[in-house]
Amino acid sequence: MKVLSHPVNVLDNFNYIKQCKSTSRNFTAIPVVDFLDPDAKTEIVEACKEFGFFKVINHGVSMEFMEKIESEAVKFFNLPQVDKEKSGPPHPFGYGDKKIGPNGDMGWVEYLLFGAGPEIFSKNAQVILPGISESLWSLVNDYVLAVRNIMCEVLEMIAEELKIGPKDVLSRLIKDEKSDFCFRVNHYPPCPELQSLNGLIGFGEHTDPQILSVVRSNNTSGLEICLKDGTWVSVPPDHSSFFFNVGDSLQVITNGRFRSVKHRVLAPSLKSRVSMVYFGGPPLSEKITALSSLMDDGEEELYEEFTWSEYKKSAYKTRLGENRLGRFEKSHDRTQIPKIV
């Protein structure tokens, strides 16, 4: 893959992009869930409790298909900057470069943002996002459908393992025709000058506000997650697998039993990193609150009830690294986090 030209004189703007101390080791304890393993649902729940993060293998999506959509995305990112900007700005969807959201966050990244809602994909690509090829548009649509099905399968495994009611008590939030999903393709361009810098941020630390998110990337490192003790560790890349992040909404639904994982991406120096992220959100009107079927007798709810629309608006008014759930926390003692038995 060729080294891309630097978008919009990025080298002149290094001072606007944060640096951080990177971990020097890969984290070998990341849970790996094999969909063919009869114990998969137990492993998923344990991973959601301990890390809020896990890798799925034997998921049924072919490498050929994943490489095809990645190749089409790379073709777009290889276009001249002026042509890519015809598909922007990303308000609410489209092409973005370095600026992440409206609140001043910056990163060494360019991206395409698709969403939200299935009605987007029923329309003409050139009308919605000028400059996006019909081929990429079609592949994104197929990819979103495939990954959504896998996410629903994971949520149904969780429901079965926790014994919290109907099998679709969680997956229905994603399956609903009004579900508010989002899909992002990120490109972290290579830049040899980064070798002289320490840990340049590609995408700053944050949690995802949705229920779950699914990440697939090429074989370039950069993704890091934060452990319970505050340690940042590097996730070894695996282009054949999917990585799942627990989001803020699922943390609320489980009343703190599951952990919304804080994560970030460090920019590469010599090789491009391309990632595709599906964010599974519920319908805008859906009330997000702890499931009563999961609560122990006398257990208090840790969070105020809110609709997804309310939380989405609140989350996107904050900076990436802020504790977005903080304003919804109830005032009682949060040291008594409930346990799954």
Catalytic positions are 273
CA distance 112 to 133: 13
CA–CA–CA angle 92, 226, 154 (5° rounding):
65
Instruction: Please answer whether residues 207 and 247 qualify as being in contact, where contact means their C-beta atoms are separated by less than 8 angstroms.
Output: yes
CA–CA–CA angle 276, 279, 284 (5° rounding):
150
Question: Which helix (H) or strand (E) element contains residue 280?
Answer: strand 273-280
DSSP string across 144-202: HHHHHHHHHHHHHHHHHHHT-SSTTTTTHHHHSTTB--EEEEEEE---GGGGGSS-BEE
Kindly state the tokens that stand for 107. Answer: 């990163």
* Helices vs. strands in the chain: H and E counts, helices first: 8, 14
Backbone angles phi, psi at 133, to 5 degrees: -70, 150
Instruction: Please answer whether residues 280 and 210 qualify as being in contact, where contact means their C-beta atoms are separated by less than 8 angstroms.
Output: yes
CA of residue 135 relative to chain centroid, distance: 24
CA atoms within 13 A on the CB side of 318: 19
CA distance 286 to 110: 31
CA distance 132 to 77: 11
Helices (H), the chain: 40-50, 63-77, 81-84, 125-128, 134-162, 172-175, 248-253, 308-315
CA distance 20 to 43: 32
